[in-house]
Amino acid sequence: MTTLAKHPFWLDGSFDRDSVEACSYHPAHSWWTFRIGDVLDCEWSGRNPDENMVICRACYVPRCGYTTEADPCILPRHHPELHLTASGEVEDSTRWPGSEKPAPPDVGSAR
Ligand SMILES: [Zn+2]
Ligand SMILES: [Zn+2]
């Protein structure tokens, strides 16, 4: 018996903005870092088992920022807001005028 997930759940399209906003941890979410090989069958999915992944432990949405980034964005992936990094930097090269989504979470003690 294996305890590995059969499908790469962050790639199957099962998360969308509605389910992300319905998460009880939204907008901060509860980020959980894991080694892909510990969770997924990498032969099946073709992923690198040593790659680290960050998802919300409640709604499974992947985090926008990768673990390999020095200052990763802490919002859920595919977010319409500006990127917001763990250090509080707001990336301003992308503009999403008219967004009425909640303000970014307070990241003062996120680390
Ligand atoms: Zn969540
Ligand atoms: Zn981002």
Overall pTM surpassing 0.85 (yes/no): no
CA of 24 to the centre of ligand 1 (A): 7
Could you list the pLDDT tens digit for every one of the 111 residues in the chain? 556 655 445 544 456 778 888 889 998 899 999 998 888 788 877 888 999 989 999 888 889 998 988 999 999 888 877 888 988 888 764 444 455 555 556 555 544
Give the residue among 103, 111, 68, 62 at the shortest CA–CA distance from 86: 111
Give the span between the Cα atoms of 61 and 63, in whole angstroms.
Answer: 6
CA of 102 to the centre of ligand 2 (A): 15
CA of 81 to the centre of ligand 2 (A): 8
